[in-house]
A and B are shown apart, each in its own frame.
Chain A
Amino acid sequence: MFENLSLLALQQYWWVIVSLLGALLVFLMFVQGGQTLIFTLGKTELEKKMLINSMGRKWEFTFTTLVTFGGAFFASFPLFYATSFGGAYWVWMAILFAFVIQAVSYEFRSKPNNFLGQKTFEVFLFINGLLGTILIGTAVSTFFTGSQFFVTEFNFMEWKGAARGLEAVLNPHNVVLGLAVFFLARSLGLLYFINDIDNESIIPRAHKQLWFNALPFLFFFLLWLIWLLFLNGYAYDPITKVVYIEAYKYLNNIFQMPVNTIIMLLGIILVLYGLFIALFKQGTKGIWFTGLGTVLTVFALFILAGFNHTAFYPSNYDLQSSLSIENASSSHYTLTAMSYVSLMIPFVVAYIWYAWKAINIKKINAEEMEGEGHAY
């Protein structure tokens, strides 16, 4: 079945999968957003416990999606893995470190005699929420703005950036996306709390905080998007594979990929609608509209970055070192084998849906936190 597809078709199939996983990850970073709101929304120990347990029951979804996104990306496009992880060493190490401290914080926070104290682990959760979102947003923005690296004909990579990836924060365009992701994660976290927690103190605070996070998110995201549309992009000739600068490349991609553009617009509308019903109608279902909208929008942005002969990991040090889905992928054999495994995805999605529904069958409330059952 898959072995009869061309290499290009397989590369496109895997870029679609990677884009979908990246989009799901950004939605699931509502956990990170929620973690940065523990001290803002939780004024008592019981309230903090409710917030942490609301996030705690979902943190593994985000973590496993991050790992799956990374793993699928690196296996299908190993030259990106080699270039970015070896080159932008410090930015990825910082992201990794931020996620290491998240995992242990949920498990150790409420345990007696945990050496570092409850407050330390809560600060770790905050750090994960802050750094995880901003750094991932900044790193993903370099898919559009470019990085400083050089790849030889033998695929040896030399990173030319001054701080091994951290120099990305010196480009304001990258920082803007980082901040957009940060405020989006917080907005999604607030929408999730509104849907998942039954408490008369937390919910009004969450509604109020949504104003202070949704508006900055919209500002930074629109700023980044409009800026992107005026950016010079990195295109490559489909026959000669020579990379060249194309003015308004991403705007051209918008017009030349109308289906993708419709997906993006639909996503943006859903994001806005979810925020609208939470802000103006005091609704509790906003998370589902904004969440789905986030998935569609981010998916479309990844497609914008990698399809239509666009270099998804451009090098502004040496244009011809830029990576595209055509020059960074695994072999036909590897992508074929992986594609057969990808047929399991619907079963995984079904299981995730079932587990999510089972976990969320009842809203989090004070009685449950004070009871005998498992709590983070």
Chain B
Amino acid sequence: MVTLRGHFLLLIVVFLWLGIKDKLEGKNWLFWTAILTIPLTYVASQAGWVLTELGRQPWVIQDLMPTLSAVTKIDAASVQITFWLFAVTFTALLIAEIKIMLTQIKKGPNTGGH
């Protein structure tokens, strides 16, 4: 996460510098780096969450409230049903979003759209 943060900052500075100098044209290696950086933002975000949520264990509030006492007394089946309900819903919505975006990309920026 910290390493990626350095990469993001460096990339921003490079883009900013070249943009001000008007030297961005033809730098395909830079554009490809930017595109490949997109999934890295999700990796960094998830890494941060894993760090926070694992690092806090066994406390919800350090020295005051352990995780065990914060957990709702609810049966596992209810949580599993909720999980699958949201998994199915968000998968359907992901498929919808991808199809919509691909259709818009094929249309291009100057034909219809919003």
Alpha-carbon distance A93/B83, docked complex (angstroms): 11
User: Are A115 and B96 within 8 A (Cβ)?
Assistant: yes
CB-CB contacts of B76-100 with A at 8 A, as 1s and 0s?
0010001001000100110111011
User: Are B93 and A89 within 8 A (Cβ)?
Assistant: no
| Complex interface residues of chain A between 66 and 121 (CB less than 8 A to chain B) | 86-87, 89-90, 93, 97, 100-101, 104, 108, 111-116
B52 within 8 A of A: no
Alpha-carbon distance A375/B100, docked complex (angstroms): 16
User: Are A93 and B74 within 8 A (Cβ)?
Assistant: no
User: Are A89 and B103 within 8 A (Cβ)?
Assistant: no
Known: A93-B82, A156-B69. A113 touches B103 (CB 8 A): yes
B73 within 8 A of A: yes
Interface set of B (CB-CB < 8 Å, partner A): 69, 72-74, 78, 82, 85, 89, 92-93, 95-97, 99-100, 102-104, 114
User: Are B95 and A86 within 8 A (Cβ)?
Assistant: no
Distance from B9 Cβ to chain A, minimum over Cβ atoms (Å): 30
User: Are B73 and A116 within 8 A (Cβ)?
Assistant: no
Most-contacted residue by chain A among B82, B92, B96, B99 (CB, 10 A): B96
User: Are A113 and B74 within 8 A (Cβ)?
Assistant: no
Cβ 8 A contact of B72, one of A86, A101, A112, A113: A86
User: Are A159 and B103 within 8 A (Cβ)?
Assistant: no
User: Are B114 and A116 within 8 A (Cβ)?
Assistant: no
Distance from A110 Cβ to chain B, minimum over Cβ atoms (Å): 9
Known: A113-B103, A115-B99. A164 touches B78 (CB 8 A): yes
Chain B residue at minimal CB-CB distance from A110: B114
Known: A89-B72, A154-B69, A156-B69. A114 touches B78 (CB 8 A): no
- Chain B residue contacts of A93, Cβ below 8 A: 82
Known: A100-B89, A104-B93. A114 touches B100 (CB 8 A): yes
Distance from A177 Cβ to chain B, minimum over Cβ atoms (Å): 26
- Chain B residue contacts of A86, Cβ below 8 A: 72-74
- Chain B residue contacts of A112, Cβ below 8 A: 100, 103
User: Are B74 and A164 within 8 A (Cβ)?
Assistant: yes
- Chain A residue contacts of B72, Cβ below 8 A: 86-87, 89, 157
Alpha-carbon distance A115/B99, docked complex (angstroms): 7
Chain A residue total in the interface (Cβ 8 A): 24
User: Are B96 and A114 within 8 A (Cβ)?
Assistant: yes
- Chain A residue contacts of B85, Cβ below 8 A: 97
User: Are B69 and A114 within 8 A (Cβ)?
Assistant: no
Alpha-carbon distance A100/B104, docked complex (angstroms): 24
A374 within 8 A of B: yes
- Chain A residue contacts of B97, Cβ below 8 A: 108
A interface, over-half SS? mixed
User: Are A113 and B89 within 8 A (Cβ)?
Assistant: no
Alpha-carbon distance A115/B90, docked complex (angstroms): 13
Alpha-carbon distance A112/B107, docked complex (angstroms): 11
- Chain B residue contacts of A113, Cβ below 8 A: 99-100, 102-103
Known: A158-B73, A374-B114. A116 touches B89 (CB 8 A): no
Known: A114-B100, A158-B73. A101 touches B89 (CB 8 A): yes
User: Are A116 and B92 within 8 A (Cβ)?
Assistant: yes
22 pairs, CB–CB < 8 Å, chain A vs chain B? A86-B73, A89-B72, A90-B78, A104-B96, A108-B96, A108-B100, A111-B100, A111-B103, A111-B104, A113-B100, A113-B102, A115-B92, A115-B95, A116-B92, A154-B69, A157-B73, A158-B73, A159-B73, A164-B74, A164-B78, A374-B114, A375-B114
| Complex interface residues of chain A between 155 and 214 (CB less than 8 A to chain B) | 156-159, 164
3 cross-chain pairs, A with B, having the tightest CB-CB distances, nearest first: A86-B72, A115-B96, A113-B103
- Chain B residue contacts of A115, Cβ below 8 A: 92, 95-96, 99-100
- Chain A residue contacts of B78, Cβ below 8 A: 89-90, 164
Alpha-carbon distance A108/B93, docked complex (angstroms): 9
Cβ 8 A contact of A114, one of B73, B82, B99: B99
Most-contacted residue by chain A among B69, B72, B85 (CB, 10 A): B72
Alpha-carbon distance A159/B74, docked complex (angstroms): 9
- Chain B residue contacts of A157, Cβ below 8 A: 72-73
